[in-house]
């Protein structure tokens, strides 16, 4: 309510025995109060909104979740890998290397190079920016005496963004709705999700015998976990699967962590696009929408829906309509194994 609306309401509630015209004490006093009360309803509504954690963001969400559960938001991690360096000389710790796109990495230790050597490197910035395919890092911003070239023969990975508000809140709900105790299934799910980069978990008890637990994981993008991520989870829950109680798992419980197996889902259709959109951007939007849908199904359902793929395509920016859709070469739902995660395969888009 505005100040004038508040004033009118208060004056209306005053007995008629009071003089309520401008210049008299009743009017002047209530007018002053109405100015202060303006916006109070909005402030109260905003305060009420803050009582629902779904409406909280950033540090406000942290302040809500952490005191109630002890869960901390997972911090971003730095991508790391190794370079093959050729020449004769010494690569000092901290030496910079760079990709063609300007992403920089530093040597994490000093390495003497005689002909050829391997230098471990870590990205200078956290998050996914440092995750690059093989043969991407070939530049040296500062020339090093005797060092001729560098290259990464294997992909560089392990960089994950800070846990988003939605991911953090979803993990909080897992804790509330699936109480973990005494190394039950929910405990293994929560332990795995506490490792940065893990987004999806499925637990299989007693598969390899009594007191064994299989934990299958996918990353927070719905992709099969990398070997480094699998090792991080394994070391956190039960190092070397010994069941020795050196991790989170109780003594005697052997845990075996593996990555989900990716099941490629191919998509093909003919698309009618809007006149203002270019084909490249529409194709990228379709791939992103379908990939997001596939990620949402990981360990949540046992099939990929043909209808939901169609809906994802229609939701992509620039798409007006489509026809001739095939998913996995057909027009029906695709079954997904209990240890599999669907990933986007070849996408063939033609424009009509």
Question: pLDDT per residue over 214-247, tens digit each?
Answer: 999 999 999 999 999 999 999 999 999 999 999 9
Domain-terminating residue out of 259, 277, 300 = 259
172 within some domain = no
According to the model, what pLDDT value does residue 337 have? 97
25 within some domain = yes
Domain-terminating residue out of 206, 224, 259 = 259
Q: Which domain holds residue 25?
A: 3-43
74 within some domain = no
Based on the domain organization, do 271 and 344 belong to the same domain?
Answer: yes
Domain-terminating residue out of 204, 232, 259 = 259
Instruction: Take residue 155 and report the two structure tokens written for it.
Output: 């992909």
Count Cβ atoms within 10 A of the Cβ of residue 124 and give its class: 0-12 exposed, 13-18 middle, 19 or more buried: middle
Question: pLDDT per residue over 273-315, tens digit each?
Answer: 999 999 999 999 999 999 999 999 999 999 999 999 999 999 9
Return the residue matching tokens 């009582």.
51
67 HSE (CA, 13 A, CB side): 6
Based on the domain organization, do 314 and 283 belong to the same domain?
Answer: yes
Based on the domain organization, do 279 and 228 belong to the same domain?
Answer: no
- What rounded mean pLDDT belongs to the chain? 95
Based on the domain organization, do 255 and 322 belong to the same domain?
Answer: no
Cα Rg of the chain (Å, integer): 29
Residue 339: pLDDT band with limits 50, 70, 90: very high
Instruction: Take residue 218 and report the two structure tokens written for it.
Output: 């996918």
136 within some domain = yes
69 within some domain = no
What domain count does the chain have?
A: 4
Across 34-43, average pLDDT: 84
According to the model, what pLDDT value does residue 45 have? 83
Based on the domain organization, do 266 and 347 belong to the same domain?
Answer: yes
Model pTM score: 0.80
Based on the domain organization, do 347 and 312 belong to the same domain?
Answer: yes
Across 335-344, average pLDDT: 97
Based on the domain organization, do 253 and 266 belong to the same domain?
Answer: no
3-state secondary structure the chain: CCHHHHHHHHHHHCCCCCCCCCCCHHHHHHHHHHHHHCCHHHHHHHHHHCCCHHHCCHHHHHHHHHHHHCCCCCCCCCCEEEEEEEEEEEECCCCEEEECCCCEEEECCCEEEEEEEEEEEEECCCCHHHCECCCCEEECCCCCCCEEEEECCCCEECCCCCCCHHHHHHHHHHHHHCCCCCCCHHHHHHHHHCCCCEEEEEEEECCCCCCEEEEEEEECCCCECCHHHHHHHHHHHCHHHCCCCCCCCCCCCEEEEEECEEEEEEEEEEEEECCCCCHHHHHHHHHHHHHHHHHHCCCCCCEECHHHHHHHHHHCCCEEEEEEEEECCECCCEECCCCEEEEEEEEEEEEC
Based on the domain organization, do 113 and 140 belong to the same domain?
Answer: yes
Cα 243 to chain centroid, rounded: 30
Q: How far apart are CA 138 and CA 110, in angstroms?
A: 19
- Asked whether 55 and 46 are in contact (CB, 8 A), the reply is no
Predicted confidence (pLDDT) at residue 49 exceeds the cutoff of 90: no
Sequence-distant contacts of 15-23: CB under 8 A, at least 24 apart: none
CA angle (193 as vertex; 49, 337 as ends), nearest 5: 115
205 within some domain = yes
Based on the domain organization, do 342 and 270 belong to the same domain?
Answer: yes
Based on the domain organization, do 268 and 305 belong to the same domain?
Answer: yes
According to the model, what pLDDT value does residue 38 have? 84
Which range, of 5-9, 115-119, 270-274, 343-347, averages the lowest pLDDT? Answer: 5-9
Residue 124: pLDDT band with limits 50, 70, 90: very high
Based on the domain organization, do 201 and 248 belong to the same domain?
Answer: yes
247 within some domain = yes
Contacts of 182 (CB under 8 A, 6+ apart): 250
Instruction: Take residue 34 and report the two structure tokens written for it.
Output: 């109405």
90 within some domain = yes
Predicted confidence (pLDDT) at residue 6 exceeds the cutoff of 90: no
Instruction: Take residue 190 and report the two structure tokens written for it.
Output: 């929560």
- Asked whether 112 and 161 are in contact (CB, 8 A), the reply is no
Return the bridge partners of 203, or none.
Answer: 215
Percent of the chain whose pLDDT exceeds 70: 100
Residue 52: pLDDT band with limits 50, 70, 90: confident
Based on the domain organization, do 34 and 92 belong to the same domain?
Answer: no
């Amino acid at each position: 309510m505005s100040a004038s609306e508040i004033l009118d309401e208060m004056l209306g509630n005053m007995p008629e025995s009071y003089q309520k015209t401008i210049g008299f004490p009743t009017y002047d006093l209530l007018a002053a109060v109405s100015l202060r009360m303006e916006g109070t309803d909005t402030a109260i509504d905003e305060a009420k909104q803050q009582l629902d954690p779904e409406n909280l963001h950033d540090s406000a969400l942290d302040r809500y979740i952490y005191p109630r559960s002890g869960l901390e938001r997972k911090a971003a991690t730095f991508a790391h890998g190794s370079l093959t360096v050729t020449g004769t000389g010494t690569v000092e710790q901290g030496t910079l290397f760079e990709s063609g796109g300007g992403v920089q990495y530093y040597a994490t230790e000093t390495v003497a190079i005689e002909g050829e050597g391997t230098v471990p490197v870590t990205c200078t910035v956290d998050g996914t920016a440092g995750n690059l395919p093989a043969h991407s890092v070939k530049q040296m911003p500062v020339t090093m005496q005797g060092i001729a070239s560098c290259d990464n023969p294997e992909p560089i990975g392990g960089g994950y963004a800070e846990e988003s508000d939605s991911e953090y809140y979803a993990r909080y709900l897992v804790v509330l709705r699936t109480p973990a105790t005494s190394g039950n299934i929910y405990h293994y799910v929560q332990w795995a999700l506490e490792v940065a980069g893990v987004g999806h978990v499925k637990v299989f008890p007693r598969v390899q015998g009594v007191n064994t637990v299989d934990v299958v994981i996918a990353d927070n993008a719905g992709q099969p976990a990398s070997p480094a991520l699998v090792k991080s989870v394994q070391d956190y829950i039960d190092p070397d699967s010994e069941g020795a109680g050196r991790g989170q798992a109780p003594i005697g419980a052997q845990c075996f962590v593996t990555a989900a197996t990716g099941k490629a889902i191919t998509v093909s259709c003919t698309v009618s696009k809007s006149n203002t959109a270019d084909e490249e951007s529409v194709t990228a939007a379709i791939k992103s929408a379908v990939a997001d849908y596939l990620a949402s199904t990981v360990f949540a359902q046992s099939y990929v829906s043909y209808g939901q793929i169609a809906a994802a395509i229609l939701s992509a920016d620039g798409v007006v309509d489509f026809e001739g859709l095939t998913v996995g070469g057909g027009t029906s739902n695709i079954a997904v194994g209990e240890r599999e995660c669907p990933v986007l395969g070849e996408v063939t888009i033609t424009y009509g």
